[in-house]
Amino acid sequence: MNEWFLNGPNVLIPVVAILLPVAIVGISLYFRNREREMIHRERMLAMERGLQPPVDAAPVNAAPVAFGRHEHGRHDRGPRDYLLRGLILLFIGLGAFGFMFVSPEFWGDHMSPHMRDSFLAMPFLAIIPAAVGLAYLVAYAIESQKQPPRPPVP
């Protein structure tokens, strides 16, 4: 009993780390199914009574249409979306690069020489999200020249 008490958290953490995302996905799928089921019931009741199904009800095989979306469920991708995504990814990449570049100096005393050498290549992995962010910013620059700016939503 005492041995399990000491090693229990070491075993429980990976089990929870695996089961928690599975549970979150399962719960979200369950509630999406319930929503579609309710839309289906509403449409069937309207047809049984000889009424036209509600216009705002989405088809049973598609998710309900949300505000700011097209009828196919895709967001209206304007230049502002490219700007937002580009800035987010660029700063994530730059922040990760800075952290990984500075971290061997802080932890270098606690690392073996082999591990310290492998950490030297790590900052260059952060260039990937930064490059994707730059690509979004280029797309923003191109798209903002093509389209007139959208009026602000009240």
- Give me 68's structure tokens: 């700011």
Cβ partners under 8 Å of residue 78, min gap 6: 143, 147, 150
What pLDDT does residue 6 have? Answer: 59
| 3-state SS assignment for residue 38 | helix
Of 140, 136, 30, 138, nearest to 86 (Cα)? 136
Indicate the pTM of the whole model: 0.46
Tokens 């310290």 correspond to 116
Give the pLDDT band (50/70/90) at residue 147: low
Task: Give the tens place of pLDDT for each residue, 93-119.
Answer: 999 888 877 776 666 666 677 776 666
Residue 48, pLDDT > 60, answer yes
Alpha helices in 2-112, H assignment, sequence order: 2-48, 79-107
Distance CA 77, CA 84 (A): 11
Tokens 């089990």 correspond to 15
Give the pLDDT band (50/70/90) at residue 68: very low
In the chain, what are the domain boundaries? 1-68, 76-149
SS (H, E, C) 109-146: HHCCHHHHHHHCCHHHHHHHHHHHHHHHHHHHHHHHHH
